[in-house]
Structure 1
Amino acid sequence: MTSGHGAVHEWVRRRVHPVVTAALRADSHALGAALAVPSGGGLDPHTSDFVRDARRLVLVCATGLTAVLELHRPARDRSGRDVCRACGAVGCPTLRLVAEVLAAHSARPAPIDRAEAWRRADACLVRRPVPLDVREFEHGFVARPAAGHDKDRRRPMRWPG
């Protein structure tokens, strides 16, 4: 479904999913270590507390939005109209409000370029350092060991593990 409720649902999903992914990839121990620097890196106590708890707070909020998305999924009613599965509305007010808030705060998927894909793949392969070949495809990037460094180059690597 690409119109009506389905389009709004997909728009919101494309903004919430990267938030969950980014928070899951963040290293809470590294955040704590950065704040353990004398004087907390020059941060006031309230900001230090926020940074220390940011990963957890983002995960809680984004997971809550994911639950809203799961409940307010698109469906077809008996007449074939695109409606909200939870409230049956053609234009779900809950999802519309979430979309308005995300738009007001310019929430958008974080762009991943070739350099960022390379950095992420390299960071995930620290235990098995190999030269990488990072290539772009329609939906993003794929990282593989460079030719001559893997006996079976047909196996794709999933990262982070």
Structure 2
Amino acid sequence: MSGRDLREWTVLQVRSAMTAAMRTDPRAPDPRALDALAEKNAGSLDPYSLSFLRTARMLTLATSAALTTVLTAHRYGRDRHDRLICLACGTGRCPTVRAVSDVLAAYALQVHPVDRPEAWRRADDYYVRTAGHPVPLTVDSFDDGFIARPGTPPHDTLDNVIIIDRNTGALTLWPAYDTDTLATRYRTYKHGDP
């Protein structure tokens, strides 16, 4: 696997962990529910396990954000001789990306891309927050993600279509172009192609 491919794989692993944490309800688990679970299973959940369960979401988000910062610095680009190198290390195979990748592989993290129901849930949540009420949606799939269109667009913005990234779950606002145009423009936006 090339250094650039290894970095992409590593970024997907980190994004997968972040996406899994972001999918959870930030109000869950309710501390009272955990205490009741501990009482019911007396002795099976020690105080350390309970403490971890209470903080797991924020711990995962913070760790993923920290690793994303590292991987943003250690990205590949061309040097003055047009060789592909890590822009932080100046080497063809970045030792930092390799080390992070080895740790993630050792713990067998899996990439869990966003599926259509999750894309719909994220879009629905966005439109409920912005419109103040549920909005009928259509969700179209394309290679890099999903396009969510409101049945009745909000009046105060021209960019009223959401693209939900298939790998990260990130939402971005777009003009109401047709699916093929949006897919092409999003690919250019995501990959930085000219």
TM-score by length of 2: 0.65
Contact 2:138–2:150 (8 Å) recurs in 1: yes
Contact 2:13–2:110 (8 Å) recurs in 1: yes
CA distance in 1, matches of 2:134, 2:104: 39
Matched, 1:111 2:108: no
CA distance in 1, matches of 2:125, 2:72: 32
Give the match for residue 57 of structure 1: 59
* 2:122 alignment partner AA: R
SS of the equivalent of 2:161 reads: coil
Deviation at 1:92, TM superposition (A): 1.5
Identity %: 39
Q: Work out which structure has the larger RCO, using CA pairs closer than 8 Å and 6 or more positions apart in sequence.
A: 1
Q: Which runs of 5+ in 2 are unaligned?
A: 165-170, 173-194
SS of the equivalent of 2:28 reads: helix
Cα-to-partner distance string for 1:5-59 (whole Å, 9 max, x where unaligned): 222222211221243344345443x2252x3227343462322211111122112
* 1:112 alignment partner AA: V
Aligned-residue Cα RMSD (Å) equals: 3.0
1:89-108 map, 5 Å: 89-108=91-110
* 2:117 alignment partner AA: A
- Mean Cα displacement is larger for which, 17-26 or 47-56? 17-26
Contact 2:150–2:161 (8 Å) recurs in 1: no
Cα-to-partner distance string for 1:102-124 (whole Å, 9 max, x where unaligned): 22323232122222222333344
Contact 2:6–2:98 (8 Å) recurs in 1: yes
Matched, 1:145 2:150: yes
CA distance in 2, matches of 1:76, 1:57: 35
CA distance in 2, matches of 1:133, 1:107: 32
Matched, 1:130 2:130: no
Give the match for residue 71 of structure 1: 73
Contact 1:20–1:59 (8 Å) recurs in 2: yes
CA distance in 2, matches of 1:151, 1:83: 45
Deviation at 1:78, TM superposition (A): 3.6
Evaluate the alpha carbon distance shift between residue 39 and residue 130 of structure 1 in structure 2; reply closer, same or farther with a 3 A threshold.
same
* 2:32 alignment partner AA: A
Deviation at 1:66, TM superposition (A): 1.4
CA distance in 2, matches of 1:21, 1:137: 19
SS of the equivalent of 1:134 reads: strand
2:10 maps to which of 12, 20, 30:
12
Evaluate the alpha carbon distance shift between residue 63 and residue 79 of structure 1 in structure 2; reply closer, same or farther with a 3 A threshold.
same
Give the match for residue 33 of structure 2: 37
Give the match for residue 187 of structure 2: none
SS of the equivalent of 1:37 reads: helix
Contact 1:40–1:48 (8 Å) recurs in 2: no
SS of the equivalent of 2:17 reads: helix
